[in-house]
Amino acid sequence: MSSLRGRLRATAYRTFYRLPGRWKRRIVRTVQPTYTIGAVVLVRDPEVSRILLLRQPPGAGWSLPAGLMDRGETPIECAARELGEETGIKLPTERLRPANPNAVVHTRGQWVDMVFETEVEPEDEYTVDAAEVLEAAWHRLDNLPPLTVSTSNLLAHYGIGPYRDYPEVLSR
C-alpha cells in the first residue's frame, strides 16, 4: 500500500513541476494557508513605565495601535500610518524600530503582526479617529486595564501584561 502511495506522490510531483509557473503559483496559493499581515505599534512613555492603549468598538478591552497593510505598503509604513490615523501621532518611519521579536505569527488565526516600538512624550489629548477608536490613554505597565485577548497574547512576547508568565501563550 505504501509503495502505491509513493508512486502516486512521485507522479503528482512530476506532473506539478511540468506545469507553467503561473499555474503552479495558483495551485500553491489555493492549497497553502494564507496569512494576513498587520502592523502594531508599542508606544512607550520615555519617562514612566507606561504604554499607550486604545479602546475600540465594541469597547470590550484595550488594544495597541494597529492595522492591516495596504497593497504595496511596507510593514513600517503601515505602522506609522495606523499610529497617525488612530491616535493623531504622526511620526516618520525613522522614529519606529522593530521590536524583538519583530514578527509574531498567530498560526490559529493565520495572521502575522509586524511589531514596532517607539517613545513619545505623553500629551493631554489625542486626535482619535472616532469611527475606529473610542479613546486613547496611557496606562502603567503594573496596572493595565482589561485588554483584548489578542493584545494580551501579543504583549506576552514582550514580557508585558496578564499572560507574560504563561509559556503556553508564547509556544502557540
The residue among 158 and 109 whose pLDDT is bigger is 158
Percent of the chain with pLDDT over 70: 90
Q: Are residues 45 and 26 in the same domain?
A: no
Q: What is the pLDDT of residue 32?
A: 66
Do 18 and 46 share a structural domain? no
Q: How many domains does the chain have?
A: 2
Written as nine digits, the cell of 40 is 502594531
Identify the weakest region by mean pLDDT among 40-49, 55-64, 96-105, 118-127: 118-127
Q: Distance (Å, rounded) from C-alpha 135 to C-alpha 123? A: 13
Whether residues 12 and 91 fall in one domain: no
Same domain, 42 and 98: yes
Q: Residue 172 — pLDDT band, cuts 50, 70, 90?
A: low
β 36-44/111-119 pair status: parallel
Look at residue 119 in the predicted model and tell me its pLDDT.
95
- pLDDT per position as a tens digit, 135-147: 899 999 999 999 9
Residues 25 and 40 in one domain: no
- Please indicate, yes or no, whether residues 7 and 90 belong to a single structural domain of this protein: no
Average pLDDT in the 92-121 region?
Answer: 91
Residues 70 and 7 reside in one and the same domain: no
- Tell whether 60 and 91 lie within a shared domain: yes
Instruction: Identify whether residues 41 and 110 lie together within a single domain.
Output: yes
Q: Domain check: are 23 and 68 in the same one?
A: no
More confident residue, 95 or 36: 95
Which residue range forms the structural domain that includes residue 26?
2-31
Which CATH number fits the domain that encloses residue 89? 3.90.79.10
The CB density around residue 30, as the number of other CB atoms within 10 Å, is 8
Q: Are residues 6 and 46 in the same domain?
A: no
Residues 24 and 68 in one domain: no
Q: Which pLDDT tens digit goes with each residue over 73-82?
A: 999 999 999 9
Q: What is the DSSP string of 125-138?
A: -----TTT-SEEEE
The cell for 116 is 514596532
State the pLDDT at residue 110.
79
User: What three-state secondary structure class fits 9?
Assistant: helix
Residues 6+ apart with CB under 8 A from 1: none
Q: Is a pLDDT exceeding 60 seen at residue 1?
A: no
pLDDT at res. 89: 92
Judge whether residue 105 has pLDDT over 80: yes
